[in-house]
Structure 1
Amino acid sequence: MNSTLIKIQQFADRAHGEQMRKYSYERYIVHPIRVMETCMNYTSKTTLLAAALLHDVLEDTAVTETELLHYLETLMDTEAAHETLNLVVELTDVYTKETYAHLNRKQRKERETERIEETSADAQTIKYADILDNCKEITAADPNFAPRFLKECMTILKAAPKGNSELYSLVYNSVQAEIQGLKRRSQ
């Protein structure tokens, strides 16, 4: 990992602060690191890898788009900083429970899937890695919620096929395998 990505990882870790992963109780940063490492198997593009590390910062922390852009501009040229920020914005959930309290989860997820469908190939590649990491953890830790979550992931994958095709296939097959595994265990 190059020095820019190390600094971005440290920034993301500070931004997430004391947040912990819901099921593993690890520091939150382990998730963005795994997402970035998965992406790293398919690309060396710094803006994509940086956005993978930052993909939950705007959604889950107090960091604003302006603050993030200013920070990124201290590490990379203006074009790369804007590209990274744009990817993070594309990956930030718009249809949250807080913002759209009048919608139920199914309605919010449907709208979010429609939004993700319009995102760039790079954003979709990061989304695949995010799905892969979350699916493994949620399936193992929460078998009651996992069927619903895996169905939502499959819906997103079917709507967003523009990202890296190798990673897409891996994630699609992994989600299918998790669904089949849950079905076998419930019989």
Structure 2
Amino acid sequence: MTKEEILHIIRDYADDAHGNQMRKYTPERYIVHPVRVMEKLRGYTDRLPLLAAALLHDVLEDTLVKPPQMLEFLKGVMNEAEAEAEETLKLVIEMTDEFVKEAYPKLNRKQRKQMELERIALTGADAQTIKYADIIDNAIDITANDRNFAPRYLKEVSAILKMADKGNAELYAKAMQVVKDSYNSIDLR
């Protein structure tokens, strides 16, 4: 199979896993976000594990899929390239928020986000590169559609970008610029 065929199968797997989930602000299926994240990332890398992880980055966090199931799927679709399948899963795990409300109900959002920030700062350069593409897509979407929440979100991701600076330098700069421009667009309205 070609890389594009593999990515198409992974996209369909992520779409199926997300089921009927929709984007919060638009009447689009959830998969549009991971696809946009992958496409943003594609401008900076063509490595299959990163592109696949971009498509899958919210699956473990937002669906019932567990890491062993995902690894089994990836091994099957990546032409038995076990190292690439394992790298993809590692990246997805690094992209998955651990300090969520369900797991830490006694902590408030600010406390959970601080713990998540410290965790993200320890992730590898590839996971941080995917995070930059995720931040870009979400910053644009949230700023355009939720003027009340956007300042809080932009503050949170600004903190992440200050701590998570090991990824692709060009995409990092773009993420910083998008966050800055998003802040400015809010201030202008």
TM bucket, shorter chain: over 0.9
Q: Give matches, 1:17-56, under 5 Å.
A: 17-56=19-58
Could you tell me which residue of structure 1 aligns to residue 9 of structure 2?
Answer: 7
Could you tell me which residue of structure 1 aligns to residue 18 of structure 2?
Answer: 16
**Pick from 46, 58, 61: which aligns with 2:60?**
58
Could you tell me which residue of structure 1 aligns to residue 175 of structure 2?
Answer: 171
Structure 1 residue identity aligned to 2:26: S
Instruction: Give deviations 1:77-131, integer Å, cap 9, x for gaps.
Output: 1111100000000000000011111110000000000000000111001000000
Q: Give matches, 1:121-160, under 5 Å.
A: 121-160=125-164
Unaligned runs of 5+ in 2: none
**How many residues are treated as equivalent by the alignment?**
185
Q: C-alpha root-mean-square deviation of aligned residues, in Å?
A: 0.8
SS at structure 1 position matched to 2:77: coil
- What is the alpha-carbon distance in structure 2 between the residues aligned to residue 35 and residue 157 of structure 1? 16
**Pick from 155, 160, 184: which aligns with 1:180?**
184
TM-score of the aligned structures, taking structure 1 as reference length = 0.97
Q: Give 1:181 shift.
A: 1.7
- What is the alpha-carbon distance in structure 1 between the residues aligned to residue 136 and residue 120 of structure 2? 16
Unaligned runs of 5+ in 1: none
Q: Give 1:2 shift.
A: 1.1
Q: Give 1:25 shift.
A: 2.2
Structure 2 residue identity aligned to 1:6: H
Among the aligned pairs, what percent are the same residue?
56
TM-score of the aligned structures, taking structure 2 as reference length = 0.96
